[in-house]
Structure 1
Amino acid sequence: MKIAPVLTVFLLFCASLGDAHGREERDDTLCAEVKAFLASVKPDATRSVTFRTFWGAREEGDNIILGSKTCEHHDYDPGEKLCAYLIQDSSTEFAGYNAKRILNCLTPRQGIAAALDIHSGSFSITFGSPSRGALVDLELAPDEGREEMKLILKADGY
């Protein structure tokens, strides 16, 4: 029976793919950007970044737009740096994947299951130590009236 060795090799291959996917998310370069932004928030300060994505076709003036990304950093330099990263290195089509990447950065030991799709939601977590850090809120929702998805990362420093 040659099926057993082939099946064994196939199952080992599939198992290694699952592990590589988890490792890929834990080693995401977005994490350094998110953590730098969160660490920059001073005690008693609130900072946020609003990242919008659009995937589809719509008319803007004489042009047809097939997808877009915009990011608001509210004139905060660390937020501007995070926005620049998100514009360059995030998904336009899958807004939930961007939220999942951020959550994986903030929950490195547990992580988010690879099979989990996020379509919208609100998440809260702490960042830092008990004496210095930030209360973090992450929200993903349709941006009413704009046909876009809106991802808000907000940090309240303590």
Structure 2
Amino acid sequence: MKIPTLIVCALLAVTGCASFSAGGRDDAFCDEMARFANATALGSQREVVLLTNWAEWSKTCQHDGYEPGMRFCRWLMDNTSTEFAEANIRRALSCLDQGLNYAGTARASPSYLTGKIESSYAKGADENVRVAVEYADGIEGQCPKLKIAAERWVLDE
């Protein structure tokens, strides 16, 4: 009985799922997401896509060669879970609205999860930046996907 417990504890430590701060808020994730979003040029949209594959214990991150996207991808690769895609989704969504929970609680694991949430009030994002989090997990035949997109527009004066 002790061996499985040790394995589970080791996996949780390696995957970074314990990095949430109180109340489900993850300031490091939100800071990095805001840094990426705030680097978006006026009139443009940029995105990164994190794909995880627990079966092969692998992750990839797509960024279209955009430097802020490359930096965010490096951070995501080092600081997100390979095994628990729903934890990555919850972390991203908590930056959009910390008062709501779109992806279930940390004690519940959804069988599948899909959606897209947008906010013009993401934590740390400039007032003329909209952040969208699109996600899919548990879809048969597909790797879990977390897409984070940012769009900046000119403020009305």
Shorter-chain TM-score: what band?
A: 0.5 to 0.7
Aligned letter for 1:55? W
- Aligned equivalents of 1:146 and 1:70: distance in 2? 17
Aligned to 1:153: 148
Aligned to 1:125: 119
How many residues are paired up?
Answer: 127
The counterpart of 1:106, out of the listed 96, 106, 110, is 96
Stretches of 4+ moved more than 6 A in 1? 143-146
Tell me the secondary structure at the aligned position of residue 140 of structure 1.
strand
Q: 1:99 to 1:142 in 2, by over 3 A?
A: closer
Q: 1:127 to 1:47 in 2, by over 3 A?
A: farther
For residue 153 of structure 1, report the CA deviation from its aligned partner: 0.7
CA RMSD of aligned residues (A): 2.8
Task: Tell whether 2:45 aligns with 1:46.
Answer: yes
Aligned letter for 2:62? E
Is the contact between residue 43 and residue 132 of structure 1 (CA under 8 Å) also seen in structure 2?
A: no
Tell me the secondary structure at the aligned position of residue 31 of structure 1.
helix
Unpaired runs of 5+ residues, structure 1, are 1-20, 57-65
For residue 95 of structure 1, report the CA deviation from its aligned partner: 1.2
Is the contact between residue 52 and residue 148 of structure 1 (CA under 8 Å) also seen in structure 2?
A: yes
Q: 1:146 to 1:77 in 2, by over 3 A?
A: farther
Aligned to 1:33: 32
Is the contact between residue 41 and residue 157 of structure 1 (CA under 8 Å) also seen in structure 2?
A: yes
For residue 111 of structure 1, report the CA deviation from its aligned partner: 4.8
- Aligned equivalents of 1:104 and 1:75: distance in 2? 27
Aligned letter for 2:132? D
TM-score, length-normalised on structure 2? 0.68
Unpaired runs of 5+ residues, structure 2, are 1-19
1:4-153 correspondence to structure 2 within 5 Å: 23=22, 25-56=24-55, 66-108=56-98, 110-112=99-101, 113-115=105-107, 117=109, 119-127=113-121, 132-141=127-136, 147-153=142-148
Name the larger-Rg structure: 1
Deviations 1:96-119 (CA, angstroms, capped at 9, x unpaired) = 2111101112223x1535446562
- Aligned equivalents of 1:143 and 1:116: distance in 2? 14
- Aligned equivalents of 2:61 and 2:141: distance in 1? 14
For residue 85 of structure 1, report the CA deviation from its aligned partner: 0.8
For residue 23 of structure 1, report the CA deviation from its aligned partner: 1.1
